[in-house]
Copies of this chain bind each other. A is one copy, B any other.
């Protein structure tokens, strides 16, 4: 295992480089009996496809998923599901320039240092195209969760300095604007802000929020496999993410206990919390409230503005990165965040099944 395998029960193994023949994923541990089709996968992949608005790269990729194994007569068999997306838009161009220097904010330098050389074509394995495998696998996890009554909503809550107004929050709005923001006004402002960045040959970042409803209480393990800890790893493993917070997050660090604690209340024999500052976990275990977390996404590092860097000869140079780059990666990262969250929660659902002797007896029928 060298970093491309994720999950303990629902275990995914992703592979592929930006300009290699194909990109894909193997999903081991999907329970048998789940209805699954290539359309289920494609629906998710389409949400990360480039070229869907003027604020994303104009590169055209079909990103068509094919299921090669693990599904029989429309249902998962319990054995590994292999999925592949063939790369089609790799320009066969001259990479000698990009091969010669280290792009700031990219993994060129660190890959060279780690491995002694690198596949420099389009960033190789460190390209954002790597997330195709995550999203394809995440589509399966999301389908498992849906069957279990768990629903995920993911959206952009900030683009650069433009934040959504919680008063205007509209779930229906999310899919109506290019930024997947739940606030039409903020989305419009975000458009203007990104235009401004583009004119300045610059880029920007933003914040993605994810809300997971219907999670059974009791998911997540004490100590190291807390549900929030595993979510944090899953989300930080996405290339551009630099921060993660659950519930009030960094805000909680400034609050007092009397305000941050969520009171329990019992209504009609059902225990719930009056508020959700915790973001859905207590002691790392789901508490029946919605899981709510946020991810900070950095600005796209590929910009046309001049930057100083070093080439492989060790010379200090100036570069301008031309090409078809997203001025803001946030909108396309929304579904990647959702995919990683789905994988993590589905894994926790499976892990939790052996928490009690009575659960074991319920399955094995003694």
Per-position binary interface string of chain A over residues 174-209, scored 1 when its CB falls under 8 Å from any chain B CB and 0 otherwise: 000000000000000000000001001011111100
Output the nearest chain B residue to A204 by Cβ-Cβ distance.
B256
A318 to chain B, nearest CB (A): 10
- Give the residues in chain B near A79, CB-CB below 8 Å: 2, 4, 15, 17, 119, 124-125, 222
Query: How many residues on A have C-beta within 8 angstroms of the other chain's C-beta atoms?
Result: 169
Are A2 and B28 within 8 A (Cβ)?
Answer: yes
- Give the residues in chain B near A245, CB-CB below 8 Å: 242-245, 250, 296
> Does A237 sit at the interface, judged by CB under 8 A?
yes
Interface stretch, picked from A43-51, A53-61, A142-150, A165-173, is: A142-150
> Does A211 sit at the interface, judged by CB under 8 A?
no
Are A224 and B296 within 8 A (Cβ)?
Answer: no
Are A224 and B3 within 8 A (Cβ)?
Answer: yes
C-alpha spacing A114/B359, complex, angstroms = 11
Are B355 and A109 within 8 A (Cβ)?
Answer: no
Output the nearest chain B residue to A218 by Cβ-Cβ distance.
B114
Contacts known (A28-B5, A116-B358); A202 close to B257, Cβ less than 8 A: yes
Output the nearest chain B residue to A13 by Cβ-Cβ distance.
B13
C-alpha spacing A163/B28, complex, angstroms = 40
Contacts known (A222-B126, A301-B261); A78 close to B359, Cβ less than 8 A: no
Contacts known (A1-B8, A33-B357, A105-B278); A24 close to B224, Cβ less than 8 A: no
C-alpha spacing A253/B337, complex, angstroms = 15
Most chain B CB inside 10 Å of its own CB: which residue of A81, A114, A274, A298: A114
Are A247 and B255 within 8 A (Cβ)?
Answer: no
Are A32 and B104 within 8 A (Cβ)?
Answer: no
A204 to chain B, nearest CB (A): 5
> Does A110 sit at the interface, judged by CB under 8 A?
yes
> Does A92 sit at the interface, judged by CB under 8 A?
no
Contacts known (A237-B223, A256-B202, A285-B113); A23 close to B69, Cβ less than 8 A: yes
- Give the residues in chain B near A287, CB-CB below 8 Å: 109-110, 113
A10 to chain B, nearest CB (A): 8
Are B253 and A249 within 8 A (Cβ)?
Answer: no
Are A32 and B258 within 8 A (Cβ)?
Answer: no
- Give the residues in chain B near A296, CB-CB below 8 Å: 245, 249-250, 252-253
C-alpha spacing A284/B298, complex, angstroms = 13
> Does A153 sit at the interface, judged by CB under 8 A?
no
> Does A164 sit at the interface, judged by CB under 8 A?
no
- Give the residues in chain B near A258, CB-CB below 8 Å: 200, 202-203, 303, 305, 307
24 A–B contacts from the bound complex (CB under 8 Å) = A2-B221, A3-B223, A4-B222, A32-B355, A102-B271, A105-B262, A107-B222, A107-B283, A107-B285, A108-B282, A110-B218, A113-B287, A114-B355, A126-B283, A147-B366, A197-B257, A202-B256, A205-B255, A237-B284, A243-B243, A244-B244, A260-B301, A350-B360, A353-B363
Known: A32-B355, A229-B233, A245-B250. 11 other contacts (CB 8 A): A9-B354, A31-B355, A77-B117, A102-B264, A107-B222, A114-B218, A148-B366, A204-B256, A228-B236, A244-B245, A264-B308
6 closest A-B pairs by CB: A107-B283, A3-B221, A243-B245, A233-B233, A203-B257, A114-B218
